[in-house]
Structure 1
Amino acid sequence: MKLGSTMRRHRGLTIGAAIVALLLLVGVGAAVYADYANTYDLDEERIAFQDGAQRLDGVLAKPTRGHGPYGLVVLVHGDGAMNATNDGFYRPQMEAYARAGYATLSWNKPGVDGTPGNWLDQSMDDRVREAEAAIAWSRSRPDVDHARVGLWGASQAGWVVPKVAARTPDVRFVIAVSPAINWLRQGRYNLLAELRADHASQARIDDEVRRSDRTRQLIQEGATHEQYRAALGDAADMPADRWAFVRKNFAVDASADLARVRVPVLLMLAGHDVNVDVAETETEYRRLLGGRAELTVRHYPGAAHSMVRKDIEDSRLDTYFTAIFAPRDLFAPGYLGDQRRFLAGR
């Protein structure tokens, strides 16, 4: 009995050790594959430039093949506290640009990853000047082909990119991803779209619209943050710096600037966009650019606002594992390839 018990124990220990070894092997293999999946065919250089007194830290990502000079895509962020690579989210498209012979220039927003300042202190005109400072900096680079410089902008950048393109001769093309036209209309669309997606009752929708209307009234009257909090009580969900940011920018509209754009534009629109009314955006881009600038419109029926596949975005687990093991597959089919082909044709 003792001998048999000992043998069973040894067999159990052997099986347990094998399972541990197998798990370690799988873990190491997964880590190696994740590292491979997140390795990009790019040569990244840390850079810094000045926008007046403001220092901006960023990245210049260049193709690994050839010696340049390369065309340049200048990235203009959407809303939020973003660093130069958007925590790696931009790298698949940077790689797509590199394969078309283009470098990418991007930078941290003020206050992000050690860059001084606070991005919530900016107006859209401040962001325009920032992008123009980036383009001016690029002129000092012998590895940049200044006849092939363009802008990529997403979401909130829809109020920045058209103005830069209209008044900066260096800009030879624009890639506009999920841009809005009018700040207030976009905000109302977003509110109603999110409520519908949440299957909100009509009573809740009516309450939220009343709160939104009261907030708009206070913004247009120039109310302080304290007055906003006093008026809305517990429903006042904007912190002070966000309130100041909205007060600076609520009146922006891209129409006048779009009407002055004369360079080729690639407009990319998502089929599941709850942030931006893509029907209005397409109508206005066609109306304002028609006959004056070459416009290419691409629709991605399976994409959310960020151009991530909607089926992936709906699952945190799918988003997590795709970002680790197949980051290029986060994006809607065609999104990266369409940009590469657009750039190759410039």
Structure 2
Amino acid sequence: MRKILATLVALLVIALALPAHATAPPGLPGDLTSTEVSFRGGGDLELRGSVISPAAATAGRPGVVLVHGAGTGTRREKLLAEAVAFARQGMSVLVYDKRSVGYSLFKRSYAQLAEDALGAVGTLRRQPGVDPAKVGIWGLSEGGWVAPIAAGRSTDIAFVILVGANALSPLRQQSWATAAGLRKAGVGGSLVDRAEPSLYRVIADGGMFPEPKHDPVPFLAKVRQPVLGIWGVHDLLTPPRETPPIMAEALEDGGNRRYAFRFFADADHAAHLTPDGGVTRLPELAPGYAELVGTWVREATSGRAPVAQVSGPDPVQASDSFGMPPTAWWESAAMQLVVVVLLLVAFGGYPVVALVRRVRRRAAVTPVKAARLASAGGLVALLGGFAYLLYLVMTGGKLSVPGPMAGDRPILWLALQAIAVATVAAAAVTAAAVARARQAGPRGERVRLGLLVAGGVVFVPWALYWGLLLP
């Protein structure tokens, strides 16, 4: 029996261990090879990856480490198209599984992610046939904030490639991205102009937006390596017209003019082809993208990097990004929470008291019909408004689906606005009824109605702030 149990335990251990090691990217073309590696990242966390190289690789070849965009525990397969394309340009490419430890929707550290990238760079520099003096780093989207931090810390990095990178703070970038996605879907008015940026500011004030005020400019100014910046002209996640000039100025302020910026037509945020202006991402890279990387890396690692070069079609950016000033005391996350609780008590107390009376079989009180509408409307506008805004934010920027539209307004948002207007009107009628019945009716009923009216008074500035009472 002991032998059987020992055998079962051994088999279980093997079964559990297999997934951790059998992680080579699937479907690798026959002209490429893959070597599994592991290394230590920030906080001494073990990370695993694959080094993809040409099957007929030559000695002294350059190498590049790929740094993921945003996402918890993103698998290396997400960047397999880039890894294959760059390896076919004669490089060894290290792509690794992104950390999930210490990284989440609400918590992350770009400095720690940079340590992960540096661990990968050190591993790639030790691979057979790779020239350690020719190993660089490639960062996509969020990786565009991480790569400059790593490059500024280590001279082991020979070059930097940034794709869909951002020179703005994460809070400003993400707020613009969600607004750009909504506008791409045809949305206008208070939802995109007022409600969406207000929600981001409150989320950041409440500590639920990681690294909201990270300033990439000082880190870019510390980059001394040659830099290749790549953007798709239909980028809906990074303001493609605003970012490159800021990035160029930061590099030049640091004395670095060895940069080349290139825009690709019919390409999205990741420089993949897009058939619909950035909404849909195709698997294919933009034509000429991989070839540009291969040529530029060879030039950069031989001391012939282009100087202050910008080329390609003009990017498409329908609207400017907007500043995200700190919240005032009355719009802070804490105050918003207080107001929400007050409104829930004011609007929710009316039906709760009625239910308690019915359960206790107390004598019914002649209801104020408008009070019922004010109570129900206030609760729907409050809870429905936040639910809809959070849905738009969580679906993320260019993927936001506002639902059926009436002109440039989502029908759901129009319905919430109509309910908000009805709530204010019903609260006003209820207030008039309370004033007429000041000396009549049970005292408890007057208190209940008075609380409802007070909720209606608070509701007006709250609904104005969130755009429910604005066009």
Query: Higher relative CO (CA 8 A, sep ≥ 6), structure 1 or 2?
Result: 1
Matched, 1:58 2:25: no
Distance 1:140 1:304 in 2: 34
Give the equivalent residue in structure 2 for 1:253. 215
| 1:196 corresponds to which of 183, 199, 222 | 183
Q: How does 1:11-160 map to 2 (within 5 A)?
A: 39=29, 41-51=31-41, 52-81=43-72, 82-86=74-78, 90-111=79-100, 117=101, 119-120=103-104, 121-160=107-146
- Of 269-278 and 285-294, more deviation after overlay is shown by 285-294
Q: What's the offset of the Cα at 1:40? A: 5.3
Q: Secondary structure at the match of 2:161?
A: strand
Q: State the match for 2:260 in structure 1.
A: 296
When residues 137 and 286 of structure 1 are mapped into structure 2, their CA distance, relative to the original with a 3 A threshold, is same
Inter-CA distance 67–307: structure 2 relative to 1 (3 Å threshold): closer
Q: Alignment RMSD, CA only?
A: 2.4
- Matched with 2:164 is 178
Q: 1 CA distance for matches of 2:204 and 2:57?
A: 52
Taking the aligned partners of 2:230 and 2:56, their CA distance within structure 1 comes to: 28
> In structure 1, how many angstroms separate the alpha carbons of the residues matched to 2:63 and 2:286?
24
Residues 109, 252 of structure 1: alpha-carbon distance in 2 compared, 3 angstrom cutoff: same
State whether residues 269 and 299 of structure 1, in contact with CA within 8 Å, keep that contact through their aligned partners in structure 2: yes
State the percentage of identical aligned residues: 28
The aligned amino acid for 1:102 is M
Q: Tell me the TM-score normalized by structure 1.
A: 0.71
Contact 2:37 2:50 (8 Å CA) reproduced:
yes
Distance 1:42 1:266 in 2: 25
CA contact (8 A) 1:100 1:344 kept: no
> What is the Cα deviation at residue 169 of structure 1?
0.5
- Cα distance between partner residues in 2 of 1:212 and 1:312: 25
Unaligned 5+ segments in structure 1 are: 1-36, 112-116, 223-242, 324-329
Q: 1:202 to 1:255 in 2, by over 3 A?
A: same
Please, what TM-score do these two structures have when normalized by structure 2? 0.53
TM-superposition CA deviations, 1:299-339 (whole Å, max 9, x none): 112111121212178797x94xxx5xxxxxx1222211111
Q: Is the 8 A contact 2:135 2:157 kept in 1?
A: yes
CA contact (8 A) 2:39 2:47 kept: yes
Change (3 A) 1:308 1:289: same
Specify every segment of 5 or more residues in structure 2 that has no aligned partner in the other structure, as ranges. 1-26, 302-471
The 5 A counterparts of 1:190-229 are: 190-206=177-193, 209-222=194-207
One of 332, 336, 340 as aligned partner of 2:290 = 336
In 2, Cα distance between the equivalents of 1:54 and 1:196? 41
Output one character per residue of 1:262-310: Cα deviation in whole Å (capped at 9) or x when no partner: 1111110111111001112111122112352301111112111121212
Task: Kindly tell me the number of residue pairs found equivalent between the two proteins.
Answer: 267
Residue 164 of structure 1 aligns to a residue whose secondary structure is helix
Match of 1:232 in 2: none
Q: Secondary structure at the match of 2:138?
A: strand
Is the CA contact (8 Å cut-off) linking 2:32 and 2:54 kept in structure 1? yes
Larger-gyration structure (1/2): 2
Q: CA deviation at 1:144?
A: 2.3
Letter of the structure 2 residue corresponding to residue 275 of structure 1 = L
Partner of 1:280: 242
Q: Does 1:309 align with 2:273?
A: yes
Is the contact made by 2:266 and 2:277 (CA closer than 8 Å) also made in structure 1? no
More strand by share: 1
Q: Give the direction of change, closer, same or farther, for the CA distance of 1:193–1:215 in structure 2 (3 Å limit).
A: closer
